[in-house]
Amino acid sequence: MATVRQYLAPEEAVFGPSAFPQYVRNYGSQFTVSGLAYDASASEVAYWKFATFGYGSGNITCDVIWYADTSTTASDGVTWQVAIAAITPGVDTQNVETKALAANQQASTDLGGTSPQKLMKTTVTITNLDSVAADDEVWIKVTRLVSDAGDDLTGDAILTSVRLSYSDT
């Protein structure tokens, strides 16, 4: 049994016509950090597409890698919500433009310290799999759920990547 891993970069995201995070580049002292700046006042959404190469069975783990743009309050947190839609090419008859996403899953993470711009990881376990199978085309939606009680960060949450993992057996 092996674990298949996929990396989704902020530069690869696509957006709907409204409520989307701003793409930002922050010039650090040694290198540039790019990401998606999810606002604290509106639930913003980004989408990616990937193929489930080598998928065997079980849940998909989604690690949202992010940092708080301005906060230094340890108890400030962010809630991330994730949903997927899976289509098996040549088999499923669903219209790709009207396919619905499976039910959302969510998780929250507090900063846990006062270090500004500390890189964080929130793990969302995707159990609503939309009948995903090996080699499916899968669309994933990542939302900052600012209406959740666990999301009390008042500034932007900068998403730097999304990491997916699943079993090949």
Residue 115, pLDDT score: 85
Domains in the chain, start-ordered, CATH in brackets? 3-167 (2.60.120.260)
Query: Looking at residue 13, what is its pLDDT?
Result: 98
How much is the pTM? 0.96
**pLDDT tens per residue across span 58-117:** 999 999 999 999 888 899 999 999 999 999 999 999 999 999 999 999 999 999 888 879
Q: Residue written as tokens 């090419």?
A: 89
The predicted-structure confidence for 17-68, as pLDDT tens digits, reads as follows 999 999 999 999 999 999 999 999 999 999 999 999 999 999 999 999 999 9
Query: What are the E-state strand segments in the chain?
Result: 3-8, 22-27, 32-38, 45-51, 57-68, 77-87, 105-110, 120-126, 137-144, 157-167
pLDDT of residue 114: 86
